[in-house]
Amino acid sequence: MLGLMQNQPLLISSLLTFAERHHGDGEIVSRRVEGDIHRTTYRQLAGRARQLASALDAQGLAMGERVASIAWNGYRHMEMYFGVSGSGRVLHTINPRLHPEQIAWVVNHAEDRVLCFDMTFLPIVQAIHSHCPTVQKWVMLCDADKLPADSGIPNLVSYEAWIGAMRTDYAWPQFDENTASSICYTSGTTGNPKGVLYSHRSSVLHAYAAALPDVMCLSSRDAVLPVVPMFHVNAWGIPYSAALTGCKLVFPGPALDGKSVYELIEAEGVTFAAGVPTVWQMLLTHVRSQGQKFSSLTRTVIGGAACPPAMIAAFEDEFGVHVLHAWGMTETSPLGTLCTPKKKQLAWPLEQQRALQQKQGRAICGVDMKIVGGDGQELPWDGKTYGDLLVRGPWILERYFKGDSPLVEDASGLGWFPTGDVATIDADGFMHITDRSKDVIKSGGEWISSIDVENIAMGHPAVAMAACIGMPHPKWDERPIVAIALKPGASATREDILAFYEGKTAKWQIPDDVVFVDAIPLGATGKMLKTRLREQLAGYKLPGL
Ligand code: AMP
């Protein structure tokens, strides 16, 4: 027997319709590529998203065809989130930090029909346009008078001229909630990038879950700054959750340095910000150097890479900003777990609470997770036993676009997504990532967590960034070494760093050596590229070998 409730599909357009109707004057503030601060509202956003949808109709784009963006976080990008997906097309957000050849590869793989880009990215488009035969229309996200006369790109139009003449009374179509809404490619550090194709249903469910009190706790009283890029996993779903809650949105545009981010937080009364540790490092360095404080920021979600304990302590103890450590992947939309304490844990001593915050947290309802051993058998939730982390749920990938399904089946035939992360889960359900499976260091049959080794080094006042990798050892199989990039003007010796480990970890987990580097290589999403670091250290030998 079926239930007798209205069968209304979960569509992205419904989030915008809600925001327009109930939070029409809700603010959306953007620092633009043009350099100024732009202000708009959900009402205006909705009108312009409808104009964009009309422009796509006029262009003759069918349902399901792909429209690409190469853009910073800003209101025009937000319009694309709703105008493209809302009208049944698929938004392909492209990471501009990929190599142009990779960008052309993903454009061709996705068969993008329209590509809209910020002015900053004109050189990328100039480099790729002749290699992208599927693209019928190139659109620069700017006013008509900013369009370069001699770009070399055929029929280049400005976004404002393109959508400006279109109707605002477009009616959002209704369709199956399982229809594709957006696609994001993995960064492709090993092999070609893989396309993760989100649906309306997965995006809307994720938006609801993300806003929950034990997740990001978003409300119409918040002013939210997504520093996480809209070109990577839909900025952790914040654009959708923002429309769902009607919170004020503050977009940083291209200015991600500490000073610019701080100024925006203060000027716009930001209460909640989201970003990866590398961006927050820049922000902390800036506010410390200026002796500044945050007057409105109360909490920040940090994820995408392990948040160093020193960063958690700095935000919490120096600045009174609550840190929510989060874990996720492109394949998980991305939110999988978030570290919010349970009631009993609020009574724990401070040190124990800080230790808890280093964990990546508890599964969000909708995400089921487990750890398994090499034989696929589930391992206990004791906070000690390591295993491969598997997840499943309605916003977790089933199959890559034009690719295979990576799912592994359990005994009852349920498919689980193997994350490639190694983790423990404690009795309270708090998951702790110890490594990517390919970064695990095995020394004398015991595992050493490269993240633990890095976290300790990151607590040293002279260290800007630390990366731990295993090096071959004839007796122990592998021993860890730590590559260190020092803060500008700071100094520390190999001995200083090694001495810093004393008493903070077991002796056999202390790295065998310290290698100083100018910078730790970062990938397109700001994460450490250990493959590149290993290449850089080719020929390196452990001391005494
Ligand atoms: P991506 O799909 O590029 O966003 O990368 C996902 C990967 O980033 C995960 O599989 C983890 O290895 C890593 N990651 C994400 N969040 C965290 C976190 N809080 N701590 C440690 N690693 C993380």
Q: What is the pLDDT of residue 439?
A: 85
Residue 213 Cα to ligand 1 midpoint, Å, equals 22
Annotate 104-169 with DSSP letters as a single string.
HHHHHHHTEEEEEE-GGGHHHHHHHGGG-TT--EEEESS-GGGS-TT---TT-EEHHHHHHTS-S-
Residue of higher predicted confidence among 530 and 10: 10
Residue 191 has pLDDT above 80, yes or no: no
Residue 69 Cβ inside 6 Å of ligand 1? The answer reads: no
Q: Is residue 115 part of a domain?
A: yes
Q: Which atom of ligand 1 is nearest to the CA of 419?
A: 10
Residue 188 Cα to ligand 1 midpoint, Å, equals 14
Q: Is residue 61 part of a domain?
A: yes
The pick from 327, 364, 450 for probing ligand 1's pocket by mutation, whose C-beta has the most ligand atoms within 8 angstroms, reads 327
**Boundary (domain end) residue, out of 147, 169, 201:** 201
Closest residue CA from atom 20 of ligand 1 = 306
Residue 332 Cα to ligand 1 midpoint, Å, equals 10
**In Å, what is the CA distance from 507 to each residue of 136, 498, 502, 512?**
61, 11, 7, 10
The pick from 364, 433, 522 for probing ligand 1's pocket by mutation, whose C-beta has the most ligand atoms within 8 angstroms, reads 433
Pair type for strands 112-117 and 322-328: unpaired
Residue 194 Cβ inside 6 Å of ligand 1? The answer reads: no
Residue 420 Cα to ligand 1 midpoint, Å, equals 10
Q: What is the pLDDT of residue 145?
A: 96
Q: What is the pLDDT of residue 444?
A: 83
What's the total number of domains in the chain? 2
Q: Which atom of ligand 1 is nearest to the CA of 326?
A: 19
pLDDT tens figures, 395-409: 999 999 999 999 999
Q: Is residue 234 part of a domain?
A: no
Q: What is the pLDDT of residue 22?
A: 98
Helix (H) or strand (E) holding 419: strand 415-425
Q: Which atom of ligand 1 is nearest to the CA of 306?
A: 20
Residue 433 Cβ inside 6 Å of ligand 1? The answer reads: yes
Residue 190 has pLDDT above 80, yes or no: no
**Boundary (domain end) residue, out of 201, 225, 243:** 201
Q: What is the pLDDT of residue 88?
A: 98
- Rg of the chain over Cα atoms, rounded to whole angstroms, equals 24
Closest residue CA from atom 23 of ligand 1 = 305
Closest residue CA from atom 21 of ligand 1 = 306
- What's the token pair of residue 386? 């390591």
Distance CA 517, CA 533 (A): 10
Q: Is residue 308 part of a domain?
A: no
Residue 188 has pLDDT above 70, yes or no: no
- What's the token pair of residue 346? 């609020």
Residue 51 Cα to ligand 1 midpoint, Å, equals 36
CA 290 to chain centre: 28
Distance CA 135, CA 116 (A): 10
Q: What is the pLDDT of residue 545?
A: 84
**Boundary (domain end) residue, out of 201, 216, 246:** 201
Distance CA 382, CA 452 (A): 18
Residue 329 Cα to ligand 1 midpoint, Å, equals 6
pLDDT tens figures, 303-317: 999 999 999 999 999
Q: What is the pLDDT of residue 74?
A: 98
Residue 432 Cβ inside 6 Å of ligand 1? The answer reads: no
Residue 419 Cβ inside 6 Å of ligand 1? The answer reads: yes
The CATH code of the domain that includes 146 is: 3.40.50.12780
Q: Is residue 501 part of a domain?
A: yes
Residue 104 Cβ inside 6 Å of ligand 1? The answer reads: no
Residue 186 Cβ inside 6 Å of ligand 1? The answer reads: yes
- Residue carrying the six token digits 């327009």: 20
The stretch 339-357 carries a mean pLDDT of 97
Distance CA 220, CA 226 (A): 15
Residue 513 has pLDDT above 70, yes or no: yes
The pick from 93, 329, 337 for probing ligand 1's pocket by mutation, whose C-beta has the most ligand atoms within 8 angstroms, reads 329
pLDDT tens figures, 470-512: 999 988 889 999 999 999 999 999 999 999 999 998 899 999 9
The stretch 25-51 carries a mean pLDDT of 97
Q: What is the pLDDT of residue 442?
A: 85
The region of weakest confidence among 281-285, 386-390, 520-524 is: 520-524
Q: Which atom of ligand 1 is nearest to the CA of 325?
A: 19
Q: Is residue 107 part of a domain?
A: yes
- CA angle, residues 188, 392, 414, in degrees to nearest 5: 115
Closest residue CA from atom 9 of ligand 1 = 329
Mean of pLDDT over the chain: 95
Residue 466 Cβ inside 6 Å of ligand 1? The answer reads: no
Residue 495 Cα to ligand 1 midpoint, Å, equals 31
Candidates 305, 303, 352, 304; CA nearest to 325 is: 303
Residue 440 Cα to ligand 1 midpoint, Å, equals 14
Task: Identify the band that residue 437 occupies on the pLDDT scale cut at 50, 70 and 90.
Answer: confident
Residue 148 Cα to ligand 1 midpoint, Å, equals 39
Residue 189 has pLDDT above 80, yes or no: no
CA within 13 Å, CB half, 35: 1
DSSP 317: I
Residue 330 Cβ inside 6 Å of ligand 1? The answer reads: yes
Residue 203 Cβ inside 6 Å of ligand 1? The answer reads: no
Distance CA 269, CA 296 (A): 5
Q: Is residue 246 part of a domain?
A: no
Residue 172 backbone dihedrals phi, psi, to 5 degrees: -60, 130
Residue 526 Cβ inside 6 Å of ligand 1? The answer reads: no
Domain with 50 in it: 12-19+39-201
pLDDT tens figures, 67-79: 999 999 999 999 9
Residue 529 Cα to ligand 1 midpoint, Å, equals 12
Closest residue CA from atom 16 of ligand 1 = 304
For 311, the 3-state DSSP assignment is: helix
Residue 55 Cβ inside 6 Å of ligand 1? The answer reads: no
Q: Is residue 398 part of a domain?
A: no
pLDDT tens figures, 148-175: 989 999 989 999 999 998 999 999 999 9
Q: Tell me if 406 sits within 8 A of 417, measured CB to CB.
A: yes
Q: pTM value?
A: 0.92
Residue 79 Cβ inside 6 Å of ligand 1? The answer reads: no
Residue 57 Cα to ligand 1 midpoint, Å, equals 37
The CATH code of the domain that includes 520 is: 3.30.300.30
Catalytic residues: 186, 331, 442, 447
Candidates 222, 251, 291; CA nearest to 81 is: 251
Residue 304 Cβ inside 6 Å of ligand 1? The answer reads: yes
Q: Which atom of ligand 1 is nearest to the CA of 420?
A: 10
Residue 524 Cβ inside 6 Å of ligand 1? The answer reads: no
